Amino acid sequence: MHAIEKILARAAGKESVKTGEILNCTVDLAGINDLYLQTLRSFSEMGGSKVHDPGRIVLFLDHYAPASTIAQADNQKQFREFCREQNIKLLMDVDQGVCHQVLADQGLVYPGQLLVVTDSHTTTHGAFGAFGTGVGATDLAIIMITGKLWFRVPEVIGIRLDGKLSTGVYAKDVILKIIGELKADYATYKAVEFTGPALAQFSVSERMTLCNMTTEMGAKTSYIQPDKITEAFLSGRVKHPYETVFTDSGYVYAAEHSYDISAIKPQVAAPSSVDNVSDLAAYAGRPIDQAFIGTCTGGRVADLAVAARILAGRKVHSRTRLLVVPASKSVFLEAMNQGYVQKLVEAGATFVTPGCAACLGTHQGLLASGETCITSSSRNFPGRMGHARAEIFLASPATVAASALEGKIADPAPYLA
Amino acid sequence: MLKIIKGKAFVYGANIDTDQIYPGRFLDQTDPEAVARHAMEGIDPDFVREVTPGDIIVASTNFGCGSSREHAAVTLKAAGVGAVLAASFGRIFFRNAINLGLPVLVCPDIHSRTKRGDVLTVDLATGQVRNETRGLVAQAEPLSDYIINILASGGIKPMIRRSLAHES
């Protein structure tokens, strides 16, 4: 069995499982985001009165942190009341940040865990050897009522990474390259595992970016076998006991791909599809109105660090505004301790409360018709960050910072030599 | 029993994501009627004015990719959409739609042969799709018994409600 199958088998109380099998699994931790009051509605509509296990539920007030409309405020109020009524202690209020970063920072995710959140980017937690997957509100409400949910055991696609990253190239460039080649629906219903010697040079932060973006290939979950890098991150954070599982030799992947990352240059996904990917060079010089660094894809300490390195002692171009959103409170605090925040603010950055912010076009930095944005986030769909006739380019945090500096799409490598 | 669905087609391309089906700026809406007012707004501002109960969305690959928002399924169901036929679906959208009792069928063979406004019928029990306007027949992948059971129950909520009542 694959490690992913072993996680599902344990959660279903079975010795072994097969690809395609439908399992009813006990969910270790289930998370709800503030966008989805429907979760609480579905809970009552299905006759739920008491949450099955309040210790396995976590609420995140992250997408509307803090509320920008009365409707958002009212939804968040109902979530807070629900937590009090149901004795749910894990309420991550508007000071905490994006759910996926908060789960990592606070040691709530661990190898072998079955983690389900009402957020599509729950694939991020493959970086820790967990089975993370996103569901809708009603599926989550079923978990709240029964503690369980059905899953189909997915096929697994193996992606092997060899080589060494060039200066100015990051995990974001690698995953954009992969999505550009394999396309946005390549892994639908399937799992994606990253393997290969190149992983040794990817920090947990960079692994989270790889796994996070597998959602944009349609993946149901993703996986990286936990190693010394993972353990160093988890040690001292995770209180829950866990057991790391390993894939049996002889496991047959549904497909296998191999990439020499040495050959990858800075990438951009051009409007309006995540798989519309080219070398940055094809769009170099395109004027930029807004540059955005943040989110569960590209708003971690290392992301702010490289932006600070590029922008320290310099100024954001006069035609461009730079928004920076630390992914979480911990990220924000560490970026302050390291002096990144001061450097970025002095360079002209506008800081936004940790959370999802403008990534999904709800508040705090929306785009006007005809504007162009370059962002370290995950999606460039029409209307994603504001007006449907705004154009969004996806890139690495370093590329976003270099582009903010030049006021146009720019390669970060010259600033990092 | 599953009924035959009949309605006029609204035809879209590949990778119609949930931001196009239901833009993020309206996610603080929770009442289904309010949610229905923004159906397909990101790609087709005329949709809400033209859709009538039972109408059928026909799309190419990866319909409903992107976010986990159940609003994307709620908006289509509340707007009166009778079924969605696509060459493939985003995983979470597919689950959300079935849970709500909105039939979604994988039918690769109808998109290229259907124009907006054509009248289609869909037999959920067999997966047979007919384009009545053009006299064409296509076969969707049959739904599993598990899914047919959910649809026949009117969605997963009545099923869970019944099983909870049964336990107590």
Please give the pLDDT value at position B3. 81
> Is there a contact between A138 and B61 if contact means CB atoms under 8 Å apart?
no
> Is there a contact between B91 and A220 if contact means CB atoms under 8 Å apart?
yes
Q: So where are chain A's domains?
A: 3-259, 269-410
**A63 phi, psi to nearest 5 deg:** -75, -25
Nearest to A400 by CA among A357, A349, A361: A349
Quick one: average pLDDT of A266-278? 97
- A269-410: CATH, from 3.40.30.10, 3.30.2350.10, 3.30.499.10, 1.10.287.1080: 3.30.499.10
DSSP string, A52-87: S-GGGEEEE--TTSS--SHHHHHHHHHHHHHHHHHT
pLDDT digits (tens, 9 = 90+) for A340-384: 999 999 999 999 999 999 999 999 999 999 999 999 999 999 999
Instruction: Mark which residues 8-27 of B lie under 8 Å from A by CB.
Output: 14-15, 17, 19-20, 23-25, 27
Q: Look over chain A and give the mean of its residue pLDDT values, rounded to a whole number.
A: 98
CB-nearest to A381 from B20, B68, B91 is B20
> Is there a contact between A218 and B156 if contact means CB atoms under 8 Å apart?
no
What the block records as the tokens of A293 is 């660094």
Instruction: Mark which residues 124-143 of B lie under 8 Å from A by CB.
Output: none
Please give the pLDDT value at position B167. 78
Question: What Cα–Cα distance (Å) separates residue B35 from each residue in A5, A244, A381, B76?
Answer: 38, 43, 20, 9
| Helix A137-146 × helix B156-167 angle, to 10° | 10
Q: So where are chain B's domains?
A: 4-167
Closest residue in chain B to residue A143, using alpha carbons only: B160
Q: Virtual CA dihedral for B49, B52, B53, B55, nearest 10 degrees?
A: -110
Quick one: average pLDDT of A21-44? 97
pLDDT band for position B1 (cuts 50, 70, 90): low
Quick one: average pLDDT of A380-403? 97
> Is there a contact between B25 and A273 if contact means CB atoms under 8 Å apart?
no
What is the ipTM, given to two decimal places?
A: 0.95
CB-nearest to A136 from B27, B96, B165 is B96
Whether A220 contacts A126, CB under 8 Å:
no
Whether A395 contacts A172, CB under 8 Å:
yes
pLDDT band for position A141 (cuts 50, 70, 90): very high
pLDDT digits (tens, 9 = 90+) for B84-140: 999 999 999 999 999 999 999 999 999 999 999 999 999 999 999 999 999 999 999
- A3-259: CATH, from 3.30.499.10, 3.40.50.720, 3.40.630.10, 3.30.565.10: 3.30.499.10
What residues in A contact B91, CB-CB < 8 Å? 188-189, 218, 220
CB-nearest to B92 from A134, A145, A379 is A134
- B4-167: CATH, from 2.60.40.1730, 3.20.19.10, 3.40.640.10, 2.160.10.10: 3.20.19.10
What the block records as the tokens of A367 is 């785009």
Please give the pLDDT value at position B75. 98
Single pTM value for the model: 0.97
Please give the pLDDT value at position A25. 98
Please give the pLDDT value at position A8. 98
Instruction: Mark which residues 63-92 of B lie under 8 Å from A by CB.
Output: 65-71, 73-74, 88-92
Nearest to A136 by CA among B92, B3, B110: B92
Could you tell me what percent of chain A has a pLDDT over 90?
100
Q: What is the DSSP letter of A376?
A: S
Beta strands B136-139 and B128-131 are: antiparallel
* First vs last C-alpha separation in chain B: 27
- Is the pLDDT confidence value at B165 over 90? no
Quick one: average pLDDT of B57-70? 97
- Is the pLDDT confidence value at A181 over 70? yes
Chain A nearest-CA distance from B128, in A, is: 24
pLDDT digits (tens, 9 = 90+) for B6-42: 999 999 999 999 999 999 999 999 999 999 999 999 9
What residues in B contact A388, CB-CB < 8 Å? 23, 42
> Is there a contact between A188 and B90 if contact means CB atoms under 8 Å apart?
yes
Nearest to A106 by CA among A53, A40, A31: A31
Nearest to B135 by CA among B116, B156, B151, B121: B121
- Is the pLDDT confidence value at A11 over 70? yes
Which H/E stretch holds residue A158? strand A156-162
CB of B49 within 8 Å of a chain A CB? The answer is no
pLDDT digits (tens, 9 = 90+) for A233-256: 999 999 999 999 999 999 999 999
Burial track A255-272 (b if 16+ CB lie within 10 A, e otherwise): eeeebebeebebbbbbbb
Reported as half-sphere exposure (CB side, CA atoms, 13 A), residue A113 has a value of 30
